[in-house]
Amino acid sequence: MEIVAYGVLLDEEPLLRQAFDEEFDGRHELRCLGLFLNRDTVPTAAGHQVVLSSVNDTLDSEVLRSLAKGGTRMIAQRATGYNNIDLTAAEELGLTVARVSSYSPYSVAEFAWTLALAVDRRIVRAAHRTREFDFRLDGLMGRDLRGRTAGVVGTGKIGTAFARIAHGFGMRLLGWDVAENPDCLALGMEYVERERLFAEADLVSLHVPLLPDTHHLVDARALALMKDDAILVNSSRGGLVDTDALLETLRAGRLSGVGLDVYEEEAGVFYLDKSLEVMTDERLARLMTFSNVLVTSHQAYFTRDAVGQIAETSVGNVADWFAGRTGDNTLVWPGLGAGTGTPP
């Protein structure tokens, strides 16, 4: 049978095809599409029992109904996050949904530090200057991170990897999460209330999933608590930060630097070439005007190691569905309709 994958990036496709070929050895075909799955594109999925989705696809109840009507029975999300999927509707429709529960945490943690160091040491501004043969140092002064405080919001695998790097820099560690991580405690991390973390940290990095309780976790109140010269980094989910509140904070001349790999309205913008269009998202356009803000296009995970693991796990989830198996990656398993595809 033919399996269709949506939102496949140019550098991702060879790794996805390699994992697919190794798992199925020609017993199934893989169709890779660069377009994202949404209400406009869902007709292209008709006749495909299995769909490989991306984090920027829109799998709301309407799209899921169209998928089910077209014969889709299994959705394998090529990401850890799944806030773009209506799981309740999927279960009602008898669809199986799986995700990639984990992959290299170092890819995201290292990129979060890339953002932090870039805004601290004004790397982007410096690079632009030197390309124009302007070698002045005016306005490029950063600061040592050793001895300063890193606030890690979310201390799962990625947050712990971030904390280890902070520990290597010689930073004091504050953490906030629903449960304390022994690995972080071993690094000397002190778990504190969220308000204290925002108030005391020189660098705040976000590593929690986007849930109703974490939506706009960094709001006007949290930003008001932060030091005027603090650095904020978000490499998790855009909805964790209230963009309007962040813009007001930046307009007030507060925060030394902000590194954003995600943005709450990134769907339909990130991963696409918008260079020849008028940017209609005024908030994103305003963010770009601040010299101490660095925005990247949700690429923290984008290493050969991590993408390879994501591909292997996603294909493995499909193989499990064919075999009638569930696992830690399974989000919805309605029973009816699951495992009804042709066995590999």
Look up the pTM and report it: 0.90
Provide the β-strand partners of residue 77: 53
Contact between residue 343 and residue 322 where contact means Cβ atoms under 8 Å apart? yes
Instruction: State the average pLDDT over residues 65-88.
Output: 95
pLDDT grade for 81, boundaries at 50, 70 and 90 = confident
The residue from 78, 99, 122, 237 that is catalytic is: 237
Catalytic one of 200, 264, 266, 312: 266
pLDDT at 17 over 90: yes
Q: What share of the chain is helix, strand, coil (3-state, %, to 5)?
A: 35, 15, 50
Q: Verify whether residue 23 is a known catalytic residue.
A: no
Q: Which amino acid is at 175?
A: G
Q: Domain 105-295 adopts which CATH fold?
A: Rossmann fold (3.40.50)
Pairing outcome for strands 293-295 and 257-260: parallel
pLDDT above 60: residue 342: no
Residue 341 above 50 pLDDT? no
Quote the DSSP letter at residue 108: H
Torsions phi, psi of 87, nearest 5?
Answer: -70, -35
Catalytic residue, chosen from 298, 304, 312, 325, is 298
Q: What is the torsion angle, in degrees rounded to the nearest 10, for the CA atoms of residue 85, residue 88, residue 94 and residue 95?
A: 20
- What is the per-residue pLDDT for 267? 85
pLDDT band at 335 (very low <50, low <70, confident <90, very high): low
Q: What is the pLDDT of residue 256?
A: 97
pLDDT over 90, % of the chain = 94
Read off the pLDDT of residues 249-295 as tens digits, 9 standing for 90 and up.
999 999 999 999 999 999 889 999 999 999 999 999 999 999 999 99
pLDDT in tens, 214-261: 999 999 999 999 999 999 999 999 999 999 999 999 999 999 999 999
Read off the pLDDT band of 343 (50, 70, 90): very low
Cα–Cα distance between 114 and 130 in angstroms, integer? 20
Section 118-146 average pLDDT: 97
Both tokens of 75, joined, read 């959705």
339 pLDDT more than 60: no
Start-end ranges of CATH 3.40.50.720 in the chain? 2-103+303-332, 105-295
Look at residue 57 and tell me whether its pLDDT is greater than 70: yes
Greatest distance between any 2 Cα atoms in the chain: 67
Q: Does residue 336 have a pLDDT over 50?
A: no
pLDDT above 80 for 340: no
Q: Is 233 helix (H, G, I), strand (E, B) or coil?
A: strand
Q: What mean pLDDT value characterizes the chain?
A: 95
- Percent of the chain scoring above 70 in pLDDT: 97
**DSSP E strand boundaries for the chain:** 2-5, 29-32, 50-53, 74-77, 96-98, 149-153, 172-176, 190-191, 203-206, 231-234, 257-260, 293-295, 330-332
pLDDT of residue 334: 83
DSSP 169-200: TT-EEEEE-SS--HHHHHTT-EE--HHHHHHH
Task: Give the model's pLDDT for residue 83.
Answer: 87
Contact 87, 109 (CB under 8 A): no
**Contacts with 339 (C-beta within 8 Å, 6 or more apart), sequence order:** 321, 322, 323, 324, 325
- Sheet with 330-332, strands from edge to edge, namely 29-32, 2-5, 50-53, 74-77, 96-98, 330-332
CB 267, CB 248: distance < 8 Å: no
Q: For residue 237, indicate whether it is catalytic.
A: yes
Domain range 2-103+303-332, CATH class: alpha beta
- The C-alpha atoms of residue 60 and residue 87 are separated, in whole angstroms, by 9
